[in-house]
Amino acid sequence: MFEWIQKPTLLINQEICRKNIETMVNKANREKLIFRPHFKTHQSVEIGEWFRDFGVSQITVSSVIMAEKFLQAGWKDITIAFPFNLREFRQIKEIKEKCSLNVLIADIESMQFLQKNWANSLGFFIKIDVGNHRVGFSPDSTASIHKILQLANKNRNLIFKGFLAHAGHTYQAKNSNEIKTIHSYSCDVLSRLKNFYKADYPDIIASLGDTPSCSIANDFPGIDEIRPGNFVFYDEMQKQLGSCKNEQIALATACPVVSKNEKRREIVVCGGAVHLSKENIRKKGMQIYGKVVYLSENGWIFPEQEMWVTSLSQEHGKLVVSEEQFPTIQIGDLLGIIPIHSCLTANLFEEYYTLAGKRIKK
């Protein structure tokens, strides 16, 4: 089994992945939400096609390069959910000429630039900071929002699409209830803003998107569009947050065991920071860089007694296992590592492989 794997290899459980897509599509349909999944997690043209199988035609990306890539793959309705980068003005213009494009305005200066320089139709969302405190206007910044719209009105090519938020602080939540509280607040903020401006802009929408909220919440009052990304694979961090169960995690890095130390009861795999990323969570007083699973032809088997990656260098990963587990793992074996943060792990590989060894290109 897996004789074709010689080095760290990113395995995808296609069945789980498609099921994750289907579940989120169904939720969006049930809640009458536009589903505009974020493609930054998988960054794969081929996995993008699996979304199309479920009727998805609108997508979110987080960079101009990704927008170019997915445009080339035939996606014609794209939101770049990253603050408008005026240094990429020319590239954004070129993309816009070939598809329907929305950008994000998080500062007055960016709109001043667009207002002066943009000569083509372009949708824009105003980014609202619902508590993540990364970018965007606080919900009470009425003067700034007013100023943005005033500037946009001077350039008839700029079309106000609505308010957009990313409740990234759900990743710091201690439990599902806290995520639900954040979600309610986000819905409330965005829908109130939308309703306030709806008289002047009847077509505006409220767009929200983070995997914890979209996975855990069951209603989305006042929200028109969701943009989760990570749910396509999920990961250990999402598991800890309560966004998913083990059975929903679609990604694991297969790593060859290359060394064992009996005295320290440590296993070393070929699989380091350049494969797993240095994203980590704190658990039982340790920094954890991945969760270790057994591999079978049907996917991953979660051991009863949890095994963790406790330290990483560029190419090495060190695992701590129990006294019973230690002798069952041999040099030359393969172990699976569930990513802490699948977006960053997926970013480090140029391709995925299915359990049957089929290559899925990015």
Q: What mask of x and - would describe binding to a copy of itself in positions 121 to 160, judged by CB under 8 A?
A: ------------xxx-------------------------
Residue 40 within binding range of a copy of itself, rule CB under 8 A: yes
| 82 vs 191, beta carbon nearer a copy of itself | 82
Applying CB under 8 A, the span of 145-153, 175-183, 242-250, 255-263 interacting with a copy of itself comes to: 255-263
Q: What mask of x and - would describe binding to a copy of itself in positions 95 to 114, judged by CB under 8 A?
A: -----------xx-xx--x-
Residue 218 within binding range of a copy of itself, rule CB under 8 A: no
Contact in structure between 326 and 349 (CB atoms under 8 Å): no
Token readout for 121 is 């139709």
Q: Please state the closest distance from residue 136 (CB atom) to a copy of itself, in A.
A: 8
Pairing mode, strands 290-296 and 334-338:
antiparallel
| 25 vs 135, beta carbon nearer a copy of itself | 135
Distance CA 47, CA 214 (A): 20
Residue 313 within binding range of a copy of itself, rule CB under 8 A: yes
Q: Helix 45-53 to helix 14-30 angle, to the nearest 10 degrees? A: 50
Which of residues 139, 168, 228, 339 is near a copy of itself by CB under 8 A? Answer: 168
Residue 284 within binding range of a copy of itself, rule CB under 8 A: no
Q: Helix 142-153 to helix 108-117 angle, to the nearest 10 degrees? A: 0
Pairing mode, strands 281-283 and 286-288:
antiparallel
Residue 359 within binding range of a copy of itself, rule CB under 8 A: no
Residue 273 within binding range of a copy of itself, rule CB under 8 A: yes
| 263 vs 284, beta carbon nearer a copy of itself | 263
Q: In whole angstroms, what separates CA 341 from the centre of its chain?
A: 9
Contact in structure between 198 and 163 (CB atoms under 8 Å): no
Q: Please state the closest distance from residue 48 (CB atom) to a copy of itself, in A.
A: 17
Q: Where are the beta strands (DSSP E) in 218-342?
A: 225-226, 251-261, 266-270, 281-283, 286-288, 290-296, 299-301, 307-312, 316-320, 334-338
Name the 3-class secondary structure at 9. Answer: strand
Q: Which run of H or of E encompasses 143?
A: helix 142-153
Where do contacts with a copy of itself occur on this chain (CB under 8 A)? 5-7, 40, 62-65, 82-88, 90-91, 106-107, 109-110, 113, 133-135, 168, 256, 258-261, 264, 268, 270, 273-274, 277-280, 311, 313-316, 318, 330-332, 334, 343-344, 347-348
